Amino acid sequence: MLRWGWSLLDDKRSRTISLESQQHKLIEHLRQHGIYDERVLQVMDAVPRWRFVPSEQLRAAADDRALPIAAGQTISQPFIVALMTQALRLTGHDHVLEIGTGSGYQAAILARLSRDVVSIERIPELSLTASQVLRQLGITNVDCLIGDGSVGCPERAPFDRIVVTAGAPKVPPQLCEQLTIGGRLVIPVGTVEPISLQVITRTVDGLITEDLSPCSFVPLIGSAGWPEEVPE
């Protein structure tokens, strides 16, 4: 029994080392494809993406592609996670709102680069699972809430940064109103695929919008997003 126990432990260690090695290669891939913020790259190297994917997806955890998770949702492509995080220009002192907790992976990245994160998810199963994984990783500055994230979180506003991890038909005005002056909102917007990843900065004179990249996301469901039945 003792030898069998050691064998299982060795297998687990070996698998972890292999996953870490694959993730290191992924980070180099991101660097070569235009991710230049070394803080973002270092954090993405430190956060084990494989902890946020279903067991049947472990072999693909370090692939630069979106993967299916529970409830018909996805964990975003690492390049898109890196691009969105880089676009936020986090300072380490930010009060951040994330719309769409999903697997919790993006929240884990944000948590390492900001003061605190409020993350809203409409699907209770996903929120609870993500919260568990975050706690297991020792990440304590993420508050996972269940609700309609399309309208933001006015009771915890204003936010220095807001990131939306689902595609909206248009930018919800509630989110812009919940930004501090100088705050940044990163959100996928559009009604025809591919949609556009936009960066919106709130200034004293109004909003400045920049198109960052074409992208593809699951729809943002909610009163300020898509209805439950998204049109084809």
- The Cα-based distances of 100 to 1, 25, 49, 107, 217 in angstroms read 44, 27, 17, 9, 11
φ, ψ of residue 92 in degrees (nearest 5): 100, -10
d(CA 153, CA 98): 10
Residue 193 CA from chain centroid, whole number:
20
Q: Which of 14, 18, 21, 76 is catalytic?
A: 76
Q: What is the DSSP letter of 33?
A: T
- The Cα-based distances of 119 to 101, 142, 149, 150, 153 in angstroms read 6, 7, 8, 12, 9
Count of positions (residues) in the chain: 232
76 is catalytic: yes
Q: Which residues are catalytic?
A: 76
